[in-house]
Structure 1
Amino acid sequence: MRKSLITLAMVVGCVVAAAAIWIFGGRQLSLLVDRYWTVETASLPIHSIAYEGNGTGGILIVNKLSLSLNDVPKSMSLSVGSTKDNQFALASSGKVFAFGLLTSTAENTGDRLATVPPVGDQAFVVTRHSVLSWPTPFDLNFMTGQSPSWKRHIYYEIRWKKASGADLQMLWRYEQFFYPENGWASGFMTRQGATGLIRVEITK
């Protein structure tokens, strides 16, 4: 009997410890798993791409998806503009990727640039989310009375390969909240230092 009680206590202790790790360390554990495995939910061809901003920061609009270029790591050295041959282009870490010729003057005025993928380019925007969600029992919202019970990471990735062989990959990470009443909300919740544009790779 005593041995059974000790075994039961050990099992309960392990369960409590695992629950504590999941609650307090779930975000970091989710990020670790995300390095190797995420769930792809959509892969859509890019039909149009536009930029609104002054060259640094701003918003990149892919189809109808708005992705922030603000607060990116300084190491990316990210800028957006037009080249001398009238190409809408993005530059990062000394490398330049041209999306395509700027479209009509009406669309490219002031702080807005726009184009469409040239024939022969393979351009997609891919949406993925974490395999592992984590519980948030201590997240309270006294203003609305609605608090998420779970969270997970959601990723938006641009994969653009030009006919010339040049390749661009851009990856954004955000947090997505789950509400018992409404399910998973839109995936654009931010967290200081952990969300937004996290990777840009240009190869030729």
Structure 2
Amino acid sequence: MRKVLITFAILNTFIGAAYASWIYGGRQLSLFIDQFGTIKIAFGKVNSIAYQGGGTAGVLIVNDVIKLRLNEAAPNLSPSIGSTKDNQLALANGGKVFAFGPLACSHCLATAPHAGDDASLIRCHSALSWPTPFDLNVMNGESPSWRRHIYYQFHWKKSSGATLDMFWRYEQDFYTSTGWGPAFVIRQASANLVRLDIRP
């Protein structure tokens, strides 16, 4: 009987330690696992893009619906969007420039893919969520019980071969009453635009 109690106590201690590690280290564990693969939940062709805001602190709007921020970028990124001398919407970063295409109008920063361009947006989420038992919501009284990462992968390849890849990471909360909430929860002091690559 004594051996059973000792075994039970050890097992409870192990389970408690594992759960505590999941609570406090779940975000980092989720990020680590995401390096090996995420779960795709949506894929769509890009039909139009527009830009609102300052050159480095605005929002990229995809298909008039999805808004992706540029101002919360990783420290090694400094993206800016504007128009070129030949009136094309373009993105610059690290001395490289990617021209999307001709402006849709003279007073707006908007364009659409040309024939032969391959432009898409993929939405994925983490394979592993983590519990959030200590999160408190004083506004409406309901706090999230789980959280996971949401990823947006923006890809645009011109017929010339020039390619732009952008990668955003957000956090998404799960509520017992309503399920998964909006996918644009921004963690304070955290970059959301985490990768940007212009080739060649």
The aligned residue for residue 52 of structure 1 is: 52
1:194 CA displacement: 2.6
The aligned residue for residue 71 of structure 1 is: 72
1:170 CA displacement: 0.5
Q: CA RMSD in A?
A: 1.2
The aligned residue for residue 120 of structure 1 is: 116
Distance in 1, Cα, partners of 2:191 & 2:78? 17
1:53-89 deviation line (CA, Å, top 9, x unaligned): 2211101001110111113234212111111222110
> Residue 76 of structure 1 aligns to a residue in which SS?
coil
Distance in 1, Cα, partners of 2:143 & 2:53? 33
Asked whether the 8 Å contact 1:175–1:195 carries over to 2, the reply is no
Mapped pair 1:86 → 2:87 = yes
Asked whether the 8 Å contact 1:60–1:69 carries over to 2, the reply is yes
Distance in 2, Cα, partners of 1:60 & 1:10? 53
Distance in 2, Cα, partners of 1:158 & 1:168? 8
Distance 1:193 1:36, change over 3 A: farther
Counting matched residue pairs gives 199
Output the TM-score relative to the length of structure 1.
0.93
1:133 to 108, 129, 132: 129
1:15-46 deviation line (CA, Å, top 9, x unaligned): 11110001111111111111112111011000
Distance in 1, Cα, partners of 2:67 & 2:47? 14
> Residue 6 of structure 1 aligns to a residue in which SS?
helix
The aligned residue for residue 38 of structure 2 is: 38
2:161 is aligned with what amino acid? G
The aligned residue for residue 159 of structure 2 is: 163
Distance in 2, Cα, partners of 1:165 & 1:13? 57
1:56 is aligned with what amino acid? T
1:143 CA displacement: 2.2
1:2 CA displacement: 2.6
Mapped pair 1:102 → 2:103 = yes
> Residue 175 of structure 1 aligns to a residue in which SS?
strand
Runs (5+) with no aligned partner, structure 1:
none
Moved over 6 A (4+): none
1:196 is aligned with what amino acid? N
Output the TM-score relative to the length of structure 2.
0.95
Distance in 2, Cα, partners of 1:104 & 1:91? 20
Mapped pair 1:175 → 2:171 = yes
